[in-house]
Structure 1
Amino acid sequence: MLRNTFTKASNLSRVTSVRFVQAHALSNAAVMDLQSRWENMPSTEQQDIVSKLTERQKLPWAQLTEPEKKAVWYISYGEWGPRRPVLNKGDSGFIAKGVVAGLLLSVGLFAMVRTVGGEDSKTMNKEWQLKSDEYLKSKNANPWGGYSQVQSK
């Protein structure tokens, strides 16, 4: 029984010393305004902050300071690296204007070609269409529309 008491006491002192080492907060200078500095920081400094914050996260969440919580969230879920937005602010309006301009240009070019071209080609008149329909009927060339439907008896 005495042996169990000493064992528990030694384990308790080890745990409290470990908790005491991890209990000190990171300096506010290290984690304040991390969003604007993170991309420009050297990778060694980034890894140092990540390792310190990882150790701090082993404590209860209530013991972390507000800047540390914000820094942890930004490192885990912030818009940096592969999560950086593809488009900047104002790019969507520029793209929409370009699409509208391209459509207007293509419609204008089409209208210009149609007006300059003069009369329609000979294959666009009514007589040509009727004669081509008669030819297709005689050759049974349209299996979907009914020209070559075989009527079963």
Structure 2
Amino acid sequence: MVRTKMTMTMMIELLVSLFEFFRSMLTIQMTSEFLSGFLIDIQVNLNILCIQSHYLIRNGPDESMTDQLIEASQNLMLDLEALSDHQSFMRSRERDHRELSEKIFARVVRWTLLEAVVLIVVSGGQVVYLRKFFEKRRRF
């Protein structure tokens, strides 16, 4: 069995590759169980982004141009990932607000129906009471 020593760069590259592999799984969601459903729901989303940068010392004009192109493409990819993360955040936020507005709408409809039933019962009771109040009783 051959054992090799891991250098610091090998360890960093291993960690970076692991972070890149599990990056989609590193979106952490925490909700409060104490206040959940009572008054408010608290949700905190963390999206961990690992930026990998390779700075190699190269000599020559072509290598420096290549390094500039690589750096520009990495910056473009980072901006694209940030835009994608922002878009997914906005979608989840819109979904949460839609669910909240649908819950509120359902509550408003239930209360309106309950008020209509109470109004009908009260008006019927008043009609019966007024009939009995103005009714003439005949004595035989």
TM range (shorter): 0.3 to 0.5
TM-score (norm 2): 0.39
Higher helix share: 1
TM-score (norm 1): 0.36
Flag the structure with more relative contact order, 1 or 2, with Cα contacts below 8 A and sequence separation at least 6.
Answer: 1
Q: Which has the larger radius of gyration?
A: 1
